[in-house]
């Protein structure tokens, strides 16, 4: 038998040692059972994106915020993509301007504002409110008994208050009705002013600062109900006006727009009327074509 060389002997010992060490590791592992993987670190918590929801004050800013905060809270309870924040715009023009500059992401616009600006400002109509079962509304031209005004013709040379130049029910449709009756705005009146909100117009007429005013039907009905209709008189009512659209800016992702729209359409009358907006029964889907007539009046 040939004796191994010294180098071969050293190599054999090293291999035997390595094999023994590996065997011991395997035996120890088998006795302990399978090695458990370390738990993965928790994923970072993603903050929900805040979307700003623009609204023009229908009443005073404080009262408008109080009434519409309930709606925003209901929507937030349904949304997973984002949280809505109510933002009050001073005027109708400011509201759509903020949307155009992407200072707000969603907006509840006046009918005529949407109809006029649709081709300029990238936005998508999502839904219209359903007030007392109706998705249309009207404008009311009214006075008080003390003025002696009984017809539209009696307004010649009188003082009249409107809401805003872009308000459908508080100016555009009533002004169109006056001109069809032969009264030019402003030429046929001694004074024409825009007071910014529907309740401001009603209060100014009740205080005798103006002989007549134009507001939307819900605002008139609310005040008339509180005063038992003692001194108010309706002079004329406009044809039905398409509902004010809630719109989304085109810069929002389609899946976000779809989720907000679905949240609006899912709201029910009982949960809405449980808040301050007692006449808001829900929302219905809307399309751009529904505003063709309003678009024509918006360019008057």
pLDDT at 292: 82
Burial annotation 86-120 (CB, 10 A radius, 16+ → b, else e): bbebebbbebbbbbeeeebbbbbbbbbbbbbbbee
Considering the domain boundaries, does residue 31 fall inside one?
Answer: no
pLDDT at 44: 43
Q: What is the pTM of this model?
A: 0.78
SS3 97: helix
pLDDT at 141: 98
> Each residue of 157-186: pLDDT tens digit?
999 999 999 899 999 999 999 999 999 999
Considering the domain boundaries, does residue 171 fall inside one?
Answer: yes
Angle, CA 211 vertex, CA 206 and CA 212 arms, to 5°: 85
Q: How confident is the model at residue 57 (pLDDT cuts 50, 70, 90)?
A: confident
Considering the domain boundaries, does residue 3 fall inside one?
Answer: no
**Do 120 and 263 share a domain, yes or no?**
yes
**Do 79 and 162 share a domain, yes or no?**
no
Share above pLDDT 70 across residues of the chain, in percent, rounded to a whole number: 81
> Each residue of 210-244: pLDDT tens digit?
999 999 998 898 887 776 656 899 999 999 999 99
Considering only residues 193 and 33, tell me which one the structure prediction assigns the higher pLDDT. 193
pLDDT at 171: 96
**Do 61 and 207 share a domain, yes or no?**
no
Containing structural domain, residue 264? 49-134+243-298
For β-strands 191-194 and 159-162, DSSP reports them as: parallel
Domain boundary among 224, 239, 254: 239
Considering the domain boundaries, does residue 11 fall inside one?
Answer: no
pLDDT at 10: 42
**Do 264 and 187 share a domain, yes or no?**
no
**240 close to 135: Cβ distance less than 8 angstroms:** no
**Do 264 and 220 share a domain, yes or no?**
no
Q: How many domains does the chain have?
A: 2
**Do 128 and 256 share a domain, yes or no?**
yes
Region 90-111 average pLDDT = 95
**Do 215 and 231 share a domain, yes or no?**
yes
Considering the domain boundaries, does residue 164 fall inside one?
Answer: yes
Domain boundary among 239, 257, 277: 239
**Do 164 and 112 share a domain, yes or no?**
no
Q: How confident is the model at residue 297 (pLDDT cuts 50, 70, 90)?
A: low
Considering the domain boundaries, does residue 195 fall inside one?
Answer: yes
pLDDT at 296: 57
Considering the domain boundaries, does residue 15 fall inside one?
Answer: no
**Do 104 and 229 share a domain, yes or no?**
no
CATH number at residue 83: 3.40.190.10
**Do 122 and 184 share a domain, yes or no?**
no
**Do 232 and 285 share a domain, yes or no?**
no
Query: CB 128: neighbour CB atoms within 10 A?
Result: 22
Q: How far apart are CA 221 and CA 279, in angstroms?
A: 11
Q: How confident is the model at residue 41 (pLDDT cuts 50, 70, 90)?
A: low
Domain boundary among 191, 223, 239: 239
**Do 96 and 128 share a domain, yes or no?**
yes
Rounded to the nearest integer, the mean pLDDT of the chain is 85
- What is the separation of C-alpha 172 from the centre of its chain, rounded to a whole number of angstroms? 22
Considering the domain boundaries, does residue 184 fall inside one?
Answer: yes
Q: CA 72 → CA 28, 66, 182, 186, 235, distances in Å?
A: 62, 11, 43, 38, 36
Predicted confidence (pLDDT) at residue 299 exceeds the cutoff of 90: no
- What is the enclosing helix (H) or strand (E) of 116? helix 111-117
Share above pLDDT 90 across residues of the chain, in percent, rounded to a whole number: 71
What does the radius of gyration of the chain's CA atoms come to, in whole angstroms?
34
């Amino acid at each position: 038998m040939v004796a191994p060389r010294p180098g071969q002997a050293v190599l054999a010992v090293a291999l035997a040692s390595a094999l023994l060490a590996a065997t011991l590791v395997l035996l120890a592992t088998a006795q302990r059972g399978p090695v458990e993987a370390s738990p993965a670190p928790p994923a970072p918590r993603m903050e929900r994106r805040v979307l700003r929801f623009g609204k023009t004050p229908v009443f005073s800013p404080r009262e408008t915020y109080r009434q519409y905060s309930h709606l925003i809270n209901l929507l937030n309870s349904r949304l997973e993509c984002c949280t809505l924040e109510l933002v009050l715009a001073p005027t109708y023009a400011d509201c759509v301007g903020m949307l155009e500059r992407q200072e707000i992401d969603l907006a509840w616009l006046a009918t005529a504002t949407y109809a006029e600006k649709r081709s300029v400002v990238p936005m998508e109509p999502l839904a219209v409110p359903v007030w007392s079962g109706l998705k249309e509304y009207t404008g009311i031209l009214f006075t008080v008994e003390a003025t002696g005004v009984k017809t539209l013709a009696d307004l010649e040379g009188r003082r009249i208050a409107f809401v805003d130049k872009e308000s459908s029910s508080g100016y555009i449709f009533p002004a169109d009705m006056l001109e069809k009756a032969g009264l030019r705005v402003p030429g046929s009146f001694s004074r024409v002013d825009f007071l910014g909100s529907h309740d401001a117009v009603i209060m100014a007429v009740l205080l005798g600062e103006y002989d007549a005013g134009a507001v939307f039907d819900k605002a008139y009905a609310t005040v008339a109900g509180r005063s038992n209709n003692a001194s108010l008189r309706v002079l004329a009512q406009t044809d039905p006006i398409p509902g004010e659209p809630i719109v989304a800016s085109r810069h929002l992702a389609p899946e976000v727009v779809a989720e907000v729209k679905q949240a609006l359409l899912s709201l029910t009358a009982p949960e809405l009327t449980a808040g301050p907006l007692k006449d808001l029964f829900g929302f219905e889907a809307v399309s751009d074509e529904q505003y063709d007539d309003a678009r024509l009046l918006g360019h008057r």
